[in-house]
Chain A
Amino acid sequence: KAGVTQTPRYLIKTRGQQVTLSCSPISGHRSVSWYQQTPGQGLQFLFEYFSETQRNKGNFPGRFSGRQFSNSRSEMNVSTLELGDSALYLCASRSRTGLQNLNEQFFGPGTRLTVL
């Protein structure tokens, strides 16, 4: 079974631009969560989507948004990029949402975003 895939793997943008990242979950998984990883802040939760609905949201500004399609693929968008948005963006998938199977969550390889 293929793992979680993310595209692109690397991206360079300039301040003020916007960016869209894509995540394809493991086949059969309907929950996709997005995380931002930086050296200073570590891994921080952005949001979770399940059945095309945002189920949970972290403490990030409205410039960060996401969506999920009927095939469970998810995209996240960052508008008006800032230097501080440079990070590794990870998505993770699991079969269900809720409290019970966070131990069955698998991460993708990430997209490394650099904002110049």
Chain B
Amino acid sequence: QKEVEQNSGPLSVPEGAIASLNCTYSDRGSQSFFWYRQYSGKSPELIMFIYSNGDKEDGRFTAQLNKASQYVSLLIRDSQPSDSATYLCAVKEDQTGANNLFFGTGTRLTVIP
């Protein structure tokens, strides 16, 4: 059974700080990694994806992937109250050709004004 683990939080950071969200996965064959943001009562929306080891930056968001350690993280710089949401890590294991994503249970982030 493939597992994706996240700290459920809540994680609280002051406005303007860096929020660091972490995710570990059990399947070494995993190749694609996604971060979704889900506001309360809303559906998930994709904010970042990463396939290669290292960092990928998009605006205030940076995804970091370390396949050797089976670890993916999301950094949010200059955190804003509007970033308060649950962040879901999702992993796609490519080798079998299966098209489904495995999600963690999410980390709830609160940005304090």
Q: Which residue of A lies closest to B89 (CB)?
A: A42
Are the C-beta atoms of B45 and A102 separated by less than 8 Å? no
Q: Is A48 located at the chain interface by the 8 A CB criterion? A: yes
**Measured between C-beta atoms, what is the minimum distance from B103 to chain A in Å?**
4
Contact of A108 among B34, B43, B103 (CB under 8 A): B43
> How many Å lie between the Cα of A107 and that of B28 in the bound state?
27
Say yes or no: B99 contacts A42, CB within 8 Å: no
Check A98–B105 contact: CB distance below 8 A.
Answer: no
Residues of A within 8 A of B106 (CB): 42
Measured between beta carbons, the chain A residues less than 8 angstroms from B59 are none
Distance of B96 from chain A, by nearest CB (Å): 10
CB-CB < 8 A to B103: which residues of A?
35, 42-44
Contacts of A44 in B (CB 8 A): 103
How far is B43's CA from A106's CA once the two chains are assembled, in angstroms? 9
Distance of A64 from chain B, by nearest CB (Å): 14
Whether A56 and B43, one on each chain, are in contact in the complex, defined by CB atoms closer than 8 angstroms, is no
CA distance A29 to B92 in the complex (A): 20
A103, B34: Cβ atoms under 8 Å? yes
Chain B residues packing against A (C-beta within 8 Å)? 32, 34, 42-46, 49, 88, 90, 92, 94, 97-106
- Please list 19 pairs of residues, one from A and one from B, whose beta carbons are closer than 8 Å in the complex, sorted by A's number: A33-B99, A33-B100, A42-B104, A42-B106, A43-B88, A45-B102, A48-B99, A48-B100, A55-B99, A90-B44, A99-B32, A99-B92, A99-B97, A99-B99, A102-B99, A102-B101, A103-B34, A103-B46, A105-B46
Task: Return the 5 tightest CB-CB contacts between A and B, nearest first.
Answer: A42-B105, A43-B103, A45-B100, A107-B43, A103-B49
Which A residues form the contact surface with B (CB < 8 A)?
A: 33, 35, 40-45, 48, 55-56, 58, 90, 97-99, 102-103, 105-110
